Amino acid sequence: MQTFLSIGIDEDNLRIVWSSLYTSAIDVVWYPTFRKEWRELQPIFEESYKRAIRGTGSKLHCTFLFGCVNRTDDEQRPPLTSFEWKKRKQVAVALARRIPEIITPKGTLVIEGFSEHDWFSPEELFPIIDLLGPQQTHIFRASNELLNHPDARQLVDTGKTDLSFDRLAEAMLRGQESGILKLGLPPEEERLGRRISIGEKVVAVPHDIWVQSVRSAIVLDDTVLAEGPALSDEARYRELETF
């Protein structure tokens, strides 16, 4: 099985803020890489997890599309038979269709090492990319087969994505060297707070002020003011339940 790592990010003040991770890998080799002293990792395996699908600065949601080898529950472990795999693919698609809601029109989706032989196939991934806006998706370490895939070429031709042989890490390093991106540990108030755009400037509301304010008011941060993405039928039903 080929694997890929799909990462939702926001670019704010030139700094990358990881929003959520999606992976078709069933191992946890990559998992500790994203754990930090100031950031908690929240694994997600099932559709039943409906709380705040978008992570915060101090909590990063990691969605395992096909389960994980260190889990034993039927709903969380990888499929063991062909029939279980077919059942799990339906769960994987439902989980992945949350990506446009998480990213919002202001975010970016980057995909690393995706192959047309992945358990999460191009036929399942590409319609999700098509729900996003122009140039919101970037695919790194693309294979020759993927470069020649007709649906991938259509997404490239319509400006929905681009394909690159480079690794994501190489592109990020070049962005840092050219001054386009800021890498490294963000300031504490940026990690723990919410962001509000004022003109061309972006400021962070510290976590303690945010907690006090939301008890009696709605803080119009960037997530409130952003244009909402097109919702799936499942997402609209969740919104109706919340209402």
Per-residue pLDDT tens, the chain, 243 aa: give them. Answer: 444 555 555 544 455 667 788 999 999 888 888 887 777 888 999 888 765 455 555 678 899 999 999 999 989 999 999 999 999 999 999 999 988 888 878 788 999 888 888 999 999 999 999 999 898 899 998 888 888 899 999 999 999 999 988 888 888 888 778 877 766 655 554 445 567 777 777 777 776 777 778 778 877 776 666 655 556 676 677 778 777
Q: How far is CA 20 from CA 57, 100, 164, in A?
A: 10, 11, 22
Do 101 and 9 lie in a common domain? yes
Helices and strands counted in the chain (H then E) = 10, 9
| Residue 71 falls inside a structural domain | yes
**Chosen domain end from 177, 210, 233:** 177
Do 10 and 117 lie in a common domain? yes
Backbone angles phi, psi at 35, to 5 degrees: -80, 130
What is the reported pTM?
0.72
Helix intervals (H) in the chain? 82-96, 99-103, 122-130, 144-147, 150-157, 168-177, 188-192, 207-213, 222-225, 233-242
Do 118 and 223 lie in a common domain? no
Q: What amino acid is encoded at 131 in this protein?
A: L
Could you list the residue range(s) of the whole structural domain that residue 211 is in? Answer: 190-242
| Residue 18 falls inside a structural domain | yes
Do 18 and 135 lie in a common domain? yes
Determine the 3-state secondary structure of 206 from DSSP: coil
| Residue 85 falls inside a structural domain | yes
| Residue 160 falls inside a structural domain | yes
Do 203 and 110 lie in a common domain? no
In 3D, which of 182, 186, 163 has the Cα closest to residue 172?
Answer: 182
In 3D, which of 132, 61, 133, 45 has the Cα closest to residue 95?
Answer: 45
Do 31 and 110 lie in a common domain? yes
